[in-house]
Structure 1
Amino acid sequence: MRRYWLLFAQAVTIALAAWMVVAAVRPGWLEQKPTQVQVGAPGKSVPMLQAPPRAATGSYRDAAAKAMPSVVNIYTSKASREAHPLLKDPLFRRFFGGRAPQDEQLASLGSGVIVSSDGYIVTNFHVIDGADAIEVGLADGRKAAATLVGTDPETDLAVIRIREGKLPVMVLGDPEQARVGDVVLAIGNPFGVGQTVTMGIISALGRNNLHINHVENFIQTDAAINFGNSGGALVDTNGHLLGINSAIYSQTGGSVGIGFAIPVSTAKSVLDAIVKNGHVVRGWIGIESQDITPEMADSFGLPKSSGAIIAGVVRGGPAARAGIQPGDILVAVAGKKVLDTNEMLKLIAQLEPGASVPMTILRQQRETTIDVKVGRRPRQAP
């Protein structure tokens, strides 16, 4: 019996060795041959070759299948054709391809992402702005009336809600772990043709000073984003939500490889605030600032170029009452380092109004910590 087992083991070893040699030298011999199929009526059939089924390599089908059910179409209707004044702004139109969302039409079409089993959907503010009625079309064919929960024009985000059961919920990703060059998928309903998935990479992170929103921290991507994709999902290769597609840079109305998405971290904070308060409350101390350039640092003899120089102080505002003066350099807020003006605005916006917060300033090359009682940021006009 032992002899038979030894012979069997030797035979298996020889067979595996032969298979490896053939796989290395003549891999084509191991490929499954196409099968011949007949097309047409008996006697008049046309012989054709049918490729055998095989697993797709380099495909993102799993990520798309995971994320697509959670992306919805949003239909809005208005009683008036009167457009919002912002839609007439040439710069705003520039970022929307010369055609502003909802301009010159009674019904508009956009996208949204289901982020809660309770029916909360995150979309863009400009998708539902001024709508008298909102309807949501789910990927499974269901349609439901939606109610507006709240908006945040400063980030161009809005939250709506539907009352439906068994809703597919998008899993939130971590945009802080995203890097330039990562593959991403954009999911939405471009031009109303139906749900569409496009692929690209992350082209840049932390894009700001684009003058699209008051609060900007965009993920830039070359995944095709077109009119109707607004409010849709930007997902990673695991099908997890990284951002809400918001705008494109185009002079033709079509994608030219420069699209912008709002990070999901921003969308989540806005969602939480709207669900809790009905609107977003941001901290404010009443200052105007500008970035410190290396040339400015050399000119004023500053030891470092990070921080934000205080260019102006609102009279009677929180900063003025605390003793902050024009020319001071804000280097830290509540112990968190200020890298530039955008970082400063983000840190201050996250503060709780009414709280007393330590802020570190540099004055005449000496650091001083001042406690500032944070105020509530005035609501910005969209």
Structure 2
Amino acid sequence: MPETDIAVLRTQPPEPLQPITAGDDGKLAVGDVVLAIGNPYGIGQTVTQGIVSALRRHVGGFSVYDQFIQTDAAINPGSSGGALVNLDGELIGLNTSVFNGAKDARGISFAIPARMLFSIVDQLIDKGTASQGWLGISGRDVALSALRNRATSGVFVTGVYQGGPADKAGIKPGDVIDGLDELATPDSRSLQYVSSHIAPQSEVTVHGRRNGKAFKRHLVMGKRQRQ
């Protein structure tokens, strides 16, 4: 899937492979020790150690849906596609790139979070293609003008697409959305990222505020049309 830099390959290994244990990148915290596995410059399997430098990092020039795990573990050409694991050996990310903003930049590497990885991979295996979820709203980050809703973070809904998932769930302009299921969405980029990696037709719970009062709405995700 070009938008997310994820692909699935079918292999026929001579011996059965042991699948890696899936971890929960949602439990990561800045400072956690991580290991990056790869084949840098084709010299053979290599493991490097680092820490989580930042979470939900947006890096311009990749995709509007990126919220990478940033780490200082050494990643070089050949390391892309390798596993980023925690100290329990659980997969919490997929190494994808290094920072190219400066020639002397070191120790700034990025990995695709496991939650996003699993969502896309499951769809690719089941259907041969992956689709991104769609809420059917337009919005902006909560500003001072929206404080009448007693919200200091979230997405202020400015428009609802008629007949879309949000419209059917009763969400209206003026509402503030601050979470999907158990995931917080403190700003519009977070909401876009989380919603886009929920498979269409999935049922989700929208958490928000209307006129200062918290509410929950259940909706079925729509399918985002590719631009």
Alpha carbons of structure 1 residues 227 and 289: separation in structure 2 relative to 1, 3 Å: farther
- Aligned counterpart in structure 2 of residue 240 of structure 1, from 90, 98, 103: 90
1:379 is the counterpart of 2:223 = no
1:163: how far off?
Answer: 1.0
1:225: how far off?
Answer: 1.3
1:250 is the counterpart of 2:100 = yes
| RMSD (Å) for aligned C-alpha atoms | 3.3
- Aligned counterpart in structure 1 of residue 29 of structure 2, from 161, 179, 184: 179
- After superposition, the C-alpha distances for 1:271-304 in whole angstroms (9 at most, x for unaligned) are 2221111122333132222222xxx236643312
Contact persistence 1:157–1:267 (CA under 8 A): yes
- Aligned counterpart in structure 2 of residue 214 of structure 1, from 36, 57, 64: 64
- Aligned counterpart in structure 2 of residue 195 of structure 1, from 34, 45, 62: 45
Alpha carbons of structure 1 residues 362 and 184: separation in structure 2 relative to 1, 3 Å: closer
CA distance in structure 2 between the aligned counterparts of 1:217 and 1:336, rounded to whole angstroms: 14
CA distance in structure 1 between the aligned counterparts of 2:179 and 2:21, rounded to whole angstroms: 34
Alpha carbons of structure 1 residues 229 and 255: separation in structure 2 relative to 1, 3 Å: farther
- Describe how 1:131-210 pairs up with structure 2 within 5 A: 152-166=1-15, 167-208=17-58, 210=60
Contact persistence 1:319–1:372 (CA under 8 A): yes
- After superposition, the C-alpha distances for 1:166-186 in whole angstroms (9 at most, x for unaligned) are 235433333233322222222
Q: Which has the higher helix share?
A: 1
Unmatched 5+ stretches in structure 1: 1-151
Which residue identity is paired with 1:155?
A: T
Alpha carbons of structure 1 residues 255 and 195: separation in structure 2 relative to 1, 3 Å: farther
Which residue identity is paired with 2:24?
A: D
- After superposition, the C-alpha distances for 1:67-124 in whole angstroms (9 at most, x for unaligned) are xxxxxxxxxxxxxxxxxxxxxxxxxxxxxxxxxxxxxxxxxxxxxxxxxxxxxxxxxx
Give secondary structure in 2 for the equivalent of 1:158.
coil
Q: How many residues in Structure 1 have an aligned counterpart in Structure 2? A: 226
| Matched residue, 1:231 | 81
Give secondary structure in 2 for the equivalent of 1:239.
coil
CA distance in structure 2 between the aligned counterparts of 1:196 and 1:254, rounded to whole angstroms: 23
- Describe how 1:91-102 pairs up with structure 2 within 5 A: none
Alpha carbons of structure 1 residues 319 and 270: separation in structure 2 relative to 1, 3 Å: same
CA distance in structure 2 between the aligned counterparts of 1:288 and 1:306, rounded to whole angstroms: 16
Alpha carbons of structure 1 residues 357 and 280: separation in structure 2 relative to 1, 3 Å: same
TM-score by length of 1: 0.50
TM-score by length of 2: 0.78
Which residue identity is paired with 2:21?
A: V
CA distance in structure 1 between the aligned counterparts of 2:212 and 2:6, rounded to whole angstroms: 41
| Matched residue, 1:330 | 177
- Describe how 1:1-382 pairs up with structure 2 within 5 A: 152-166=1-15, 167-208=17-58, 210-251=60-101, 256-292=106-142, 296-297=143-144, 300-314=147-161, 317-320=164-167, 324-333=171-180, 338-349=185-196, 353-354=200-201, 359=206, 361-365=208-212, 372=219, 374-379=221-226
